[in-house]
Structures are given as C-alpha cells and as structure tokens.
Amino acid sequence: MKNLLFPLLVFFVIISAKGQFNRVEYLQNFDKKTFHWGYYISINQTGFKNVSDEKYVGSPTNSLGFNVGLVGDLRLNKNINLRLEPGMFSSAEKGFTPSGSTEALTWNSTYFHLPLLLKFSTDRLKNYRPFVLAGISFDYNFKNTPENLTNAGYSIEKNQFMLEYGIGVDFYLHYFKFSPSIRGIYSLTDELSSPSIESGMQLQTRGIFLSLCFE
C-alpha cells in the first residue's frame, strides 16, 4: 500500500498545478445544489489493530481489497456537506497467530458498508477544492465463519461499527467533479468472538482506502 501512496500524491500535485493555471472555471454552480449524487470505487488494505495480548501476533499481508458504492451528498452550508455512501467493501486477507501455534489464522470478508460522513471543504480555488471528512459507519459482514476459525474456537461477528476519516481534493472538470481521497477506517468493535479471548484482547479491523469519487 505504501508503494501506491507516492505515485498517487504525485498525481495530486500534477493535477493541482494544472488546475491552478487554468483560467476557465468549470461547473461554477455545482456546489450550490442542495442535493446531488455520485459513485465511487476504491482499493483498500486492512488488518488488525495491534493486539494487546502479547501471545497473539498480528499477521499482516500485502493483498488488496476493493470497494464500490454510491454517494448521496446534502449541502448544509457553503463549506459543510453531509454524505451517505452505501456500498460493498471486500477486504484483503488478514489474520493473526494464536498463542501456542505457529500457523496463522487468515480470512477475508465482504461487508455492506454504510458510512455517514461530514465533509468540511475550503473555499474553491480555481478548479480544485481541498477537503477533510470524518464520520462513523455501520458494516454488515456477509462472510460466514470459515472452518479454520471454527476449529480454533472463534466466530465472526456480523455487525461492525467503524470510525472513518480522510483527506482529499475536489477537481472540477468539464462535465463532472472528480474527488480522489485517502481514507482510514478504525473499528470500534471486535471482529471475532471466542470464549478463549482473554480480557483486554482486541481484534479490531483497521485499514486504509484509496478512493476515487465521481459526482
């Protein structure tokens, strides 16, 4: 994932510089709409928060997941928008190594992802507009508990609540607004349950998204 961040940032800089010197302002009335819609696609990489029990070792992987969904945007005032972004979220493989074992337990998940976000934007600068956003999401895990987890005494929790936050830039093009962003997610609830999980043990999903939104 880190290898993807640098070229993406270079892309941001090139596009921003181009927009700075473009004298034609596109979609001048776009941000005056009370409501508009769009869609997004993303790639993601997920894992676990550092577990607090030293006998459990995180097992990060380099595989990527995929997101796709819709955007509903409600204008609250000149610089603040309320956004609902329902979609599907397929996570990369993740896992951990239980105590007393040398074999990692790994699996992937597919979620219905429903974030409710506040978007805080600067004033428009030519054809671009930086923003930050933050909110909370409800996630329903469609994945049934795989055999390797069942045999180890774990089960997947279906319902998750996550914090979501990010930074990005709106680019105003001829016919639509293009908004790349980098986002982080941080689960507020454990993804697995088991009678063997000791007090203080945490298996909470965290991850990073590279998101492209078209409005």
Alpha helices in 21-122 (DSSP H): none
CA–CA dist 64, 36 (Å, integer): 30
pTM of the model: 0.81
Residue 43 lies in a domain: yes
Kindly compute the dihedral angle of the four CA atoms of residues 11, 87, 80, 178, in this order, to the nearest 10 degrees.
30
Average pLDDT, the chain: 81
Residue 86 lies in a domain: yes
What separation in angstroms does the CA of 190 have from each of 11, 114, 143, 203?
Answer: 36, 18, 15, 5
Residue 28 lies in a domain: no
pLDDT at 54: 43
Cβ atoms 19, 46 nearer than 8 A = no
| 85 has pLDDT over 60 | yes
Residue 26 lies in a domain: no
Q: Is the dihedral of CA 76, 80, 84, 87 positive or negative?
A: positive
Total number of domains in the chain: 1
CATH code: domain of residue 96: 2.40.160.20
CA–CA dist 2, 132 (Å, integer): 21
202: Cβ contacts below 8 Å, ≥ 6 apart:
48, 49, 51, 52, 190
CA–CA dist 16, 10 (Å, integer): 10
The pLDDT-based confidence of 1 (bands split at 50, 70, 90) is: very low
Calculate what percentage of the chain has a pLDDT beyond 70.
Answer: 75
Beta sheet of 105-107, edge-to-edge order: 57-58, 94-97, 105-107
Q: Which domain holds residue 56?
A: 2-20+34-214
